[in-house]
A and B are shown apart, each in its own frame.
Chain A
């Protein structure tokens, strides 16, 4: 019966094809200055694409520009000399690439490049601004024949061959003509002011630990591909023309985005739906089709939450690509208006990794897509914020804060608590600060950039309260959407709403401790002592270096309570309590607002504890061991 309903639901979703019409409302754009016009012809045998690209680029700086810099990401997969691959030892993401066929490598070969009609091919050189690897070709520099004046717009015409690798990380091709084309174009870096206000190129090399950073642009793309390929892409489909030679040309219009991504696979099944005018397309291989309703629910929940909490989704469409198993490495990633997820033939409904991943990647539409911070230098500004929203959305719509990510056979976990535990399970909590460029990380990237930042934002939410936190987020979003906000912009947005202080601590100190220091937060109620019949002392300790304002809840014998505030600065603090009633417990941060605290167990001290949980778990452990040894010895 369940299967019947599933088929019915999928049929309804599929029937809605044609009802949905992805389109921009008018000709307006949020940003202007860069326009791509790309014509791509896919060569399925060579696993490459012949591209003709006309790029109109505007100098928005006050500088006269003598050099253009381009990202050439696909060159990271050209050979083992690239900065991306040089230290892999031939293995990356579980794949042995040491002995792969020539066709399995990637790269971009530019055949012509004209700027304002002048040939610049001889002026190309590859630079390595971040390391001393002269072999790396992930950043291309072009010395201009004629400088570009402030406000001037130039036309850059390129012909190139984009050879995509067999799926290594994100981009690539897979079996049976599966393709994910991302970051395949020579893409200009961002010409912007640095921390000191000096204008220059921000165009870093491609490292394994870094993602992307690009300028907003508008794209018109024509993809000529075999006509059996089912395609999904950033933007709106504006046309589809079938040719007699077994190919088709599909056209797309995409605006105000930082990259154009597309995926194709003949076996994709396409499911469509809409949510308040936003087209949702899901491209899913047949063996994963039972996941379509789960993806759809997750995307709608995310759209709903963001609209209420932050702002309406500004794009007309979102495409979810679920790669087949053999191209799993191309999943788990975000691109403007297109996300790649991951699922399997069957995933129990109590395990909500499908939903949490889809919500995570969708959240990047806001943090990376709209608030296009520098993922290379300040990855926490997108991944950390996305983790915060993922945690909130999943906990809100699926099973609550204690059972949202999994709830199976009596074992449960919330998404938010999963993030906190990911951070607190670090073997060395002093491993390094959050705020540093991705290439400086040697480990604990996810734990710090995603989990600790997400947990820091939950702590900020706890200290400010839900309403103020939402105001801060909305202000940050509205002030900086379609720009490249940096740490200082975020902190200023916080200050704009709440002033310079969060209770007893300055906003600057809060963020400095959390982002630039390696300190951790751990408070303890170590003792309750009776000095005389009417006086008690409660001893508090700060075990970690990080200090935050704290609340202490004291509960008396008759159930009455007293809340005491503490700035949390001293390493030790004695709170004197005058009361004729005996104290039964004292608890620091009773509402768990300081979610960064690495140990909630020592946050309280009580004289009225029950041994029931310990007895219960002892008995459960006993029963499970009996089962285990019975099963292990049954045959003998």
Chain B
């Protein structure tokens, strides 16, 4: 938890952005249910009739919630490049203060934005490269096979391949950024990042899979908390919210953890 302070700052930004949607959801629901006894049906959990009656009779309900999410993702994408820069450079340079986090974030923002855009491009190319031929070769999953099993199995294989290569792209991107922290040459860093991945492919793959599994576990925990959640009492509402926030914070920790792990692997390989 060396990077606790920067992580708290990242968490604060995350909260601030998500609060826009949370507040909008609260506002829409409160407006619809302010004088209705149907509010009681939502006390013990999800009630489809109530939620859908609200949606059907308040046409802006969904757009009020979904609308902001698009630009929040975009905004956070930009902010996260800044914050990830600060976090990674802090890890590489052994700093842990907010000041260095902000300074490094600012200093490395543009080149890291460049790396992120290249990463995004590679992800898009890889996804298209894998899935477009797959869809073509697959044909119609309903009519072209005797059973759905070839479709199911091939889909899982393709999904696995996709994830593995995403792990490589991610670790390549981080290794590139680590290299840039040490020698701030853009194209050279990309090359060094690639060579680092090549040399440490097994270690980095294993590390990436571990990070992915931790992510899945955290998602599972969040789903369980979501299932447990109810508005039966303020205690229950606040408790599940706090636990969900712990999971959100843990995910920031996983990011720092993944950076740190990749940095260690890169350092050892030198």
Q: What residues make up the interface of A, taking CB atoms closer than 8 Å to B?
A: 94-95, 175-176, 267, 285-287, 324-326, 328, 344-345, 402, 409-414, 417-418, 420-421, 424-425, 585, 587, 598-607, 609-636
Contact = CB atoms under 8 A, between A and B. Distances in A.
B43 A609 contact: no
Nearest to B42: A613
The secondary-structure label for the interface of chain B is helix
B223 interface: yes
6 contacts: A326-B144, A326-B145, A618-B26, A619-B22, A629-B17, A636-B119
Nearest to B55: A425
A279 B67 CA distance: 55
Given A413-B48, A614-B26, A616-B229, A622 B42 contact: no
Nearest to A598: B56
A626 B226 CA distance: 14
B42 A630 contact: no
B248 A412 contact: no
B266 to A, nearest CB: 18
Contacts of A585: 37
B60 interface: no
Nearest to A427: B56
Contact of B26 (A609, A617, A625, A630): A617
B69 A617 contact: no
Nearest to A612: B231
B52 A425 contact: yes
A414 to B, nearest CB: 8
Contact of B72 (A413, A600, A629, A631): A629
Contacts of A344: 148
Given A417-B48, A601-B50, A625-B72, A609 B65 contact: no
B125 interface: no
B147 A325 contact: yes
Nearest to B223: A409
Given A609-B39, A631-B215, 10 more contacts: A326-B142, A421-B48, A600-B38, A614-B25, A616-B42, A622-B25, A629-B76, A634-B170, A636-B81, A636-B120
B251 A630 contact: yes
Nearest to A587: B37
Contacts of B169: 635
Interface in B1-33: 14-15, 17-19, 21-27, 29-30, 32-33
A391 to B, nearest CB: 13
A613 B43 contact: yes
Interface string B226-241: 1111110110010001
Contacts of B34: 609
B49 A600 contact: yes
B161 interface: no
B149 interface: yes
A629 B255 contact: no
Contacts of A618: 22-23, 25-27, 29
Interface in B234-265: 234, 237, 241, 244-245, 247-248, 251-252, 255
B211 to A, nearest CB: 9
Contacts of B116: 636
Contacts of A607: 35
Given A287-B147, A424-B56, A635-B119, A410 B38 contact: no
A603 B35 CA distance: 10
A630 B147 contact: no
Contact of B37 (A325, A411, A604, A621): A604
Interface in B140-180: 141-149, 152, 166, 169-170, 173
Given A610-B43, A627-B219, A635 B229 contact: no
Contact of B30 (A412, A611, A619, A622): A611
Closest A-B pairs by Cβ, 9 of them: A618-B26, A622-B22, A613-B42, A410-B227, A604-B37, A616-B231, A614-B29, A621-B25, A623-B244
A424 B24 CA distance: 25
A337 to B, nearest CB: 27
A599 B61 CA distance: 15
A325 B19 CA distance: 44
Nearest to A634: B255
A425 B48 CA distance: 13
Contact of A412 (B48, B152, B241): B48
Nearest to A285: B147
B149 A287 contact: yes
Contacts of B143: 95, 326
A601 B53 contact: yes
A413 B39 CA distance: 17
Contacts of B47: 402
Given A345-B149, A605-B35, A613-B42, A622 B237 contact: no
B56 A599 contact: yes
B77 interface: yes
B250 to A, nearest CB: 10
Contact of B46 (A412, A425, A612, A636): A412
B36 interface: yes
A606 B146 CA distance: 58
A176 to B, nearest CB: 5
Contacts of B48: 402, 411-414, 417-418, 421
Given A606-B36, A612-B237, A622 B21 contact: yes
A267 B147 CA distance: 11
Contacts of A598: 53, 56-57
B46 to A, nearest CB: 5
Contacts of B120: 635-636
B229 A410 contact: yes
A635 B22 contact: no
Interface centre among B123, B141, B149, B241 (most CB of A within 10 A): B241
B73 interface: yes
B142 A625 contact: no
B84 interface: yes
Contacts of B245: 623, 626
A635 B170 contact: yes
Contacts of A326: 142-147
B22 A625 contact: yes
Contact of B36 (A413, A604, A619): A604
Contact of A636 (B39, B77, B229): B77
A621 to B, nearest CB: 4
A234 to B, nearest CB: 26
B16 to A, nearest CB: 10
Nearest to A595: B49
B73 A613 contact: no
Contacts of B152: 345
A605 B252 CA distance: 44
Nearest to A597: B53
B189 to A, nearest CB: 16
B45 interface: yes
Contact of A628 (B32, B73, B119, B144): B73
Given A601-B36, A627-B219, A617 B29 contact: yes
Contacts of A627: 219, 222, 247-248, 251
B80 interface: yes
A50 B49 CA distance: 53
B92 interface: no
A418 B141 CA distance: 28
Nearest to A522: B57
Contact of B241 (A176, A409, A413, A623): A623
Contacts of B19: 622
B173 A617 contact: no
Contacts of B18: 621-623, 625-626, 629
Contact of B56 (A325, A328, A425, A606): A425
A628 B23 CA distance: 17
B54 interface: yes
Given A630-B14, A636-B119, A609 B33 contact: yes
Nearest to B244: A623
